[in-house]
């Protein structure tokens, strides 16, 4: 059996959230628009390179471009290729290392043919060599600025850049991600440690050269002054925030809900009611759980199983009732669904495929 097209015929397109099959990802159009404009005011144009891993949706990326951002951060080659195919390839950064020759060659071909500008992160001789062999034209040196993940030691970044240039690669600059500092309870400590991380990145940049110093995320966006907005200062040139667009309860709990509204939730249907609890059809396969349980105004969440969310209702519920569930981590939640429904109030106004899923 071939793949089944999940798109309903136009005559069957739902017009109300009450017509949606559940679990269903729902995006509040007005909240999303407000979030995009708020961030565009803080980091306008090239000062923000939105991270599409947070939503994996080219329609949403197009909305980000509409408020001025033409460069994008990608987490997977699939995202890079999908963004280019959607006409959003002005300046795409693959901010993860890969040595997969087939995927590197596919990205190199798009760049070579003028269909997209593609830059790939490198942090080792092996990743530099793989990029060069596959025909990649431009790279950023990924620097370890404190998160124990990818990135070369700052003091070794210059030598890696030299190796890349000897192989004919253009080194655009450096990137570093302070992901370990995204959610901290002490704002003063966070500011101090982010400043230290940026100092490490700038030291590497002094050895590497290039025009790009890329860093940051939703949790630290407010601590970065970019050179675009503040010329002549020793700061990053762009911020790689992504979750701000849709938000989640994890970031909201760390103060970012004051600036960015929750614009996305998963609608579930109550399928069973017990003496002390109720069950909705929003389980582990519909909800990213690495940041803990989701939340719902319908009551206190007890736990999730494969297809079920068990909660203690704050007011009586009946089988067939709908509840809105807010993810604790928006990124993996979006990757679990094929489509997002854009709404205003109860009205469905658009259907956006989550078309950058997979690898």
Domain ranges in the chain are 13-25+258-353, 44-240
Cβ-Cβ contacts under 8 Å for 12 (sequence gap 6 or more): none
Any alpha helices (H) in the chain, and if so which ranges? 29-42, 58-66, 77-85, 101-112, 125-134, 157-166, 187-208, 249-253, 330-335
Token pair of 317 as six digits: 């519920």
On the CB side of 45, CA atoms within 13 Å amount to: 6
Res 226: pLDDT: 76
Q: Give strand pairing partners of 19.
A: none
What is the spatial distance between Cα 359 and Cα 356, in angstroms, rounded to a whole number? Answer: 8
Res 18: pLDDT: 93
Given a contact cutoff of 8 angstroms between Cβ atoms, the answer to whether 116 and 92 are in contact is yes
**Positive or negative, the Cα torsion across 119, 125, 127, 130?**
positive
What is the spatial distance between Cα 211 and Cα 174, in angstroms, rounded to a whole number? Answer: 9
Res 131: pLDDT: 98
Sheet of 138-142, strands arranged across: 71-74, 91-94, 118-122, 138-142, 170-176, 212-215, 238-239
Res 243: pLDDT: 97
What is the spatial distance between Cα 38 and Cα 210, in angstroms, rounded to a whole number? Answer: 29
CATH architecture of 44-240: Alpha-Beta Barrel (3.20)
Res 161: pLDDT: 98
Res 1: pLDDT: 42
Per-residue pLDDT of the chain (359 residues; tens, 9 = 90+): 445 555 555 557 899 999 999 999 999 999 999 999 999 999 999 999 999 999 999 999 999 999 999 999 999 999 999 999 999 999 999 999 999 999 999 999 999 999 999 999 999 999 999 999 999 999 999 999 999 999 999 999 999 999 999 999 999 999 999 999 999 989 999 999 999 999 999 999 999 999 999 999 999 999 997 766 666 655 899 999 999 999 999 999 988 888 999 999 999 999 999 999 999 999 999 999 999 999 999 999 999 999 999 999 999 999 999 999 999 999 999 999 999 999 999 999 999 999 999 98
In 3D space, the residue among 177, 172, 260 whose CA is nearest the CA of residue 216 turns out to be 177
> In a 3-state reduction of DSSP, which class is residue 269?
strand
Cβ-Cβ contacts under 8 Å for 124 (sequence gap 6 or more): 97, 152, 160
CATH architecture of 13-25+258-353: Beta Barrel (2.40)
């Amino acid at each position: 059996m071939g793949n089944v097209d999940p798109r309903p015929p136009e005559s069957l397109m739902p017009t109300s959230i009450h017509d949606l099959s559940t679990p269903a990802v729902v995006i509040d159009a007005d909240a999303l628009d407000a979030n995009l404009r708020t961030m565009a005011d803080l980091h306008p144009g090239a000062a923000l390179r939105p991270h599409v891993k947070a939503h994996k949706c080219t329609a949403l990326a197009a909305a980000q471009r509409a408020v001025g951002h033409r460069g994008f951060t990608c987490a997977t080659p699939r995202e890079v290729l999908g963004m280019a195919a959607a006409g959003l390839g002005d300046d795409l950064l693959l901010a993860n290392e890969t040595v997969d020759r087939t995927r590197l060659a596919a990205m190199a071909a798009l760049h070579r043919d003028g269909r997209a500008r593609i830059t790939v992160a490198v942090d080792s001789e092996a990743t530099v060599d793989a990029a060069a062999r596959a025909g990649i034209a431009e790279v950023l040196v990924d620097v370890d600025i404190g998160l124990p993940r990818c990135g070369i030691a700052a003091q070794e970044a210059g030598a890696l850049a030299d190796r890349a240039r000897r192989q004919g690669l253009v080194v655009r600059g450096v990137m570093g991600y302070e992901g370990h500092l995204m959610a901290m309870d002490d704002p003063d400590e966070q500011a101090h440690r982010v400043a230290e991380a940026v100092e490490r990145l700038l030291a590497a940049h002094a050895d590497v050269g290039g025009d790009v110093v890329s860093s940051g995320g939703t949790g630290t966006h407010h601590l970065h002054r970019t050179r675009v907005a503040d010329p002549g200062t020793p700061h990053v040139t762009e911020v790689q925030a992504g979750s701000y667009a849709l938000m989640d309860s994890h970031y909201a709990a760390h103060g970012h809900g004051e600036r960015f509204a929750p614009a996305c939730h998963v609608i579930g249907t109550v399928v069973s009611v017990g003496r002390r609890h109720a069950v909705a059809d929003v389980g582990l396969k519909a909800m990213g759980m690495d940041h803990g349980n989701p939340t719902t105004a319908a009551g206190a969440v007890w736990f999730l199983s494969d297809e079920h969310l068990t909660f203690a209702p704050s007011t009586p519920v009946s089988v067939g009732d709908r509840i809105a569930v807010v993810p604790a981590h928006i990124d993996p939640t979006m990757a679990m669904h094929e489509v997002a429904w854009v709404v205003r109030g109860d009205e469905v106004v658009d259907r956006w495929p989550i078309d950058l899923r997979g690898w």
